[in-house]
C-alpha cells in the first residue's frame, strides 16, 4: 500500500503521464520533485503543469552548486573516464537526484519514490541503488516496468484521454536527451545505427570544429587541492566555473564524443555527448597532477580509475567501496595546487604550460645542459643491471 509518493518530475510527456498514472493506479498522493542541475530549461512550467495535474506538493530545487562541488569535482579528482572515453555526465547526476528524493520523502512523510527511467537503461539502477542505500525501507515505483504504455504513441493517447497538456508546437527532437551542467547526451533516432554519422544539426552546445574560430583561445585554470577555483585569475564558484568552460569550450568545438558503451544491464548502446567544460577540466587536472604527484601515487590512481568509473557508471556512488576510494583519491590531492595554461583550437585542447609551488619537477636534474653534479649518470648502470638480472637469468636457462 502506498499513501504518498515522491516523483522525480521533469514536466515532459513521460513524467506527466506518470504523475496521473500513479494517482489512478495507486490511489495515492503524488509529490513532485524537479532538480535544477543546469539543464538550461525553464522550470516554472513544470510547476504549473504539476499543479494542473493535481500534485499534492511541488519541489523545485536549485542543486547546481551542490552538483558540481560535491559530485562533479570529486569525480574529476580521479580523472574519471568510463571505458576510456565517457566523462559520466548522466551517471554522476543520478545519486544527487536520488538523495534529494529520499530527503523529500522523509520530510513529507512519503513511503515511496518514483522515477521515469525505462527498464532498458542504466538510470533505473542508479536511482534505485541510491534510494535503497540512503533509505533501506523505501519503496520504489518504476512505471516503465509495470505499465503497457511502451511507445510515444501510447503515451500521447493516454495524455489525450486524461487531459494531460502536451507541448505540440515545434519539431520534437528525434533523440532521447539528458542535460546538466556537465554535459548533454543524445541517444536513439539515427544513432541506433552505429555506422551512421550523427547529423550536424543534432549538436547543441558545441560549434563544429571546422567552423570554430581561426584564432586559438588561451586560458589559465588555477587549482587548489585538486579542484579548479579560478579562470584567468578570476575566482569563480564551482557552477560558474563549469558554465564558463562550457561556453568557451563549446565556442571552440571542444568536447564532442561518439561512442558505443556497455550498459550495466547487459546491452551495448550508442550515444553522442557534448562535454566541453569537462573535457577541458580533465586535461587540466592531469596536467597539474603531472608536476605535483609522486610517480607511484599517480600510477596507483590510474590503476584504480577504471574501477572507480565503473562504480559510478553502475550506480554505486553511495557504496562503501566508492567512499573508500574517494578517501584515498582525496588524500592524494593535498598538494595538487597551481596553474595550468591551455590552448583551445578547432576541437583540440592542448596543455601548453603548468606551474606550482609544490612542483616535483626539478629543472636542475632534468636539464639536458650541465647539471653541475645534481645527477650522477653513472648511477644508472647499477640500476639497469639490477633490473635486468631476472631477464638475464631466464635467458641463460633457456640456452
12 carries a ligand binding annotation: yes
* d(C-alpha 45, C-alpha 130), whole Å: 28
Catalytic pick among 64, 94, 256, 354: 94
Q: Are residues 254 and 198 in the same domain?
A: yes
In a domain, 247, yes or no: yes
In a domain, 77, yes or no: no
Domain boundary among 137, 162, 187: 162
Assess if residue 182 is contained within a domain. Answer: yes
CATH classification of the domain holding 117:
3.40.50.620
Active site residue 145: no
Domain that residue 280 falls in: 176-292+335-355
Rounded to the nearest integer, the mean pLDDT of the chain is 95
To the question of whether residue 96 is assigned a binding role by annotation, the answer is: no
The answer on 103 and 183 residing in a single domain is: no
- Catalytic: 362? no
Which residues are CB-neighbours of 220 under 8 A, at least 6 positions away? 231, 232, 233, 339, 340, 341, 342
pLDDT tens readout for residues 236-249: 999 999 999 999 99
Q: Which three cell numbers stand for residue 58?
A: 511541488
**253 — pLDDT class (breaks 50, 70, 90):** very high
The structural domain count of the chain equals 2
What confidence category does residue 1 fall into, taking pLDDT thresholds of 50, 70 and 90?
Answer: confident
Residues 152 and 284 occupy one common structural domain: no
125 and 228 part of one domain: no
Catalytic residue among 123, 178, 256, 269: 123
What are the cell numbers at 75? 569525480
Same domain? For 215 and 282 the reply is yes
In which band, very low, low, confident or very high, does the pLDDT at 297 lie, cut at 50, 70 and 90?
A: very high
Please confirm, yes or no, whether 123 is among the known catalytic residues: yes
Q: Is there a single domain that holds both residue 154 and residue 192? A: no
The three cell numbers of residue 345 are 583550437
**Gap between the Cα atoms of 363 and 371, Å rounded:** 9
128-142, 174-188, 241-255: least confident range:
174-188
Final residue before a domain boundary, out of 119, 139, 162: 162
Average pLDDT over residues 141-164: 92
> Is beta strand 4-8 parallel, antiparallel or unpaired with respect to 29-36?
parallel
Q: Tell me whether residue 204 is annotated as binding.
A: no
117 known ligand binder: no
Does residue 151 have an active-site annotation?
no
Residue 170 pLDDT greater than 80, yes or no: no
Q: 193: annotated binding-site residue?
A: no
Q: Quick check: is 156 in a domain?
A: yes
Same domain, 130 and 193: no
Q: Are residues 199 and 109 in the same domain?
A: no
Residues 275 and 342 in one domain: yes
Q: Are residues 38 and 152 in the same domain?
A: yes
Q: Is 249 a member of any domain? A: yes
Give residues with Cβ within 8 angstroms of 298, minimum separation 6: 289, 290
| Spatial distance between the Cα atoms of 208 and 287, rounded to a whole number of angstroms | 26
Of the pLDDT bands very low, low, confident and very high (cuts 50, 70, 90), residue 41 is confident
Q: Grid coordinates standing for 61?
A: 530545487
Q: What is the CATH classification number for the domain harbouring 255?
A: 3.90.1260.10
Does residue 43 sit within a domain? yes
Task: Provide the pLDDT for residue 169.
Answer: 47
313 phi/psi in degrees, rounded to 5: -60, -40
Residue 137 lies in a domain: yes
Query: Over the stretch 261-286, which tens digit does the pLDDT of each residue have?
Result: 999 999 999 999 999 999 999 999 99
Residues 131-140: tens digit of each pLDDT: 999 999 999 9
Q: Which of 74, 72, 100 is nearest to 88 (CA)?
A: 72
Residues 102 and 55 in one domain: yes
Active-site choice (36, 47, 69, 176): 176
| Residue 233 placed within a domain | yes
Last residue of a domain, one of 162, 187, 205: 162
Strands, sheet with 57-62, edge to edge from the N-terminal-most edge strand: 57-62, 29-36, 4-8, 112-114, 139-141
Shared domain for 9 and 44, answered yes or no, is yes
Amino acid at each position: 500500500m502506498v499513501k504518498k509518493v515522491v516523483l522525480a518530475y521533469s514536466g515532459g510527456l513521460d513524467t506527466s503521464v506518470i504523475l496521473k498514472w500513479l494517482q489512478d493506479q495507486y490511489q495515492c498522493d503524488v509529490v513532485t520533485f524537479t532538480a535544477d542541475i543546469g539543464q538550461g530549461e525553464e522550470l516554472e512550467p513544470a510547476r504549473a503543469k504539476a499543479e494542473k495535474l493535481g500534485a499534492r506538493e511541488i519541489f523545485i530545487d536549485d542543486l547546481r552548486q551542490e552538483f558540481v562541488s560535491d559530485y562533479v569535482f570529486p569525480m574529476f579528482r580521479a580523472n574519471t573516464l568510463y571505458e576510456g572515453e565517457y566523462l559520466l555526465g548522466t551517471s554522476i547526476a543520478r545519486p544527487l537526484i536520488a538523495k534529494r528524493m529520499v530527503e523529500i520523502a522523509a520530510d513529507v512523510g512519503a513511503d515511496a519514490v518514483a522515477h521515469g527511467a525505462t527498464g532498458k537503461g542504466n538510470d533505473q539502477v542508479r536511482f534505485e541503488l541510491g534510494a535503497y542505500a540512503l533509505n533501506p525501507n523505501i519503496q520504489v515505483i518504476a512505471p516503465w516496468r509495470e505499465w503497457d504504455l511502451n511507445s510515444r504513441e501510447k503515451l500521447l493517447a493516454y495524455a489525450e484521454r486524461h487531459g494531460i497538456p502536451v507541448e505540440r508546437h515545434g519539431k520534437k527532437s528525434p533523440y532521447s536527451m539528458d542535460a546538466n551542467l556537465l554535459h548533454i547526451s543524445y541517444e536513439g533516432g539515427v544513432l541506433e545505427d552505429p555506422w551512421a554519422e550523427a547529423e550536424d544539426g543534432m549538436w547543441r552546445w558545441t560549434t563544429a570544429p571546422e567552423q570554430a574560430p581561426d584564432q586559438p583561445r588561451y586560458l589559465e585554470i588555477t587549482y587548489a587541492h585538486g579542484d579548479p577555483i579560478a579562470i584567468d585569475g578570476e575566482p569563480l564558484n564551482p557552477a560558474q566555473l563549469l558554465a564558463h568552460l562550457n561556453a568557451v569550450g563549446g565556442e571552440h568545438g571542444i568536447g564532442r564524443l561518439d561512442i558505443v558503451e556497455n550498459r550495466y544491464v547487459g546491452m551495448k548502446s550508442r550515444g553522442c555527448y557534448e562535454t566541453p567544460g569537462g573535457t577541458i577540466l580533465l586535461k587540466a587536472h592531469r596536467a597539474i597532477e603531472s608536476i605535483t604527484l609522486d610517480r607511484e601515487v599517480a600510477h596507483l590512481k590510474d590503476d584504480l580509475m577504471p574501477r572507480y568509473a565503473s562504480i559510478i557508471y553502475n550506480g554505486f556512488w553511495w557504496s562503501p567501496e566508492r567512499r573508500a576510494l574517494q578517501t584515498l583519491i582525496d588524500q592524494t590531492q593535498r598538494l595538487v595546487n597551481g596553474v595550468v595554461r591551455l590552448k583551445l583550437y578547432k576541437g583540440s585542447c592542448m596543455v601548453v604550460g603548468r606551474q606550482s609551488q609544490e612542483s616535483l619537477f626539478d629543472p636542475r636534474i632534468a636539464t639536458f645542459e650541465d647539471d653541475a653534479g645534481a645527477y650522477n649518470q653513472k648511477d644508472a648502470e647499477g640500476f639497469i643491471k639490477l633490473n635486468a638480472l631476472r631477464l638475464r637469468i631466464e635467458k641463460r636457462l633457456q640456452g
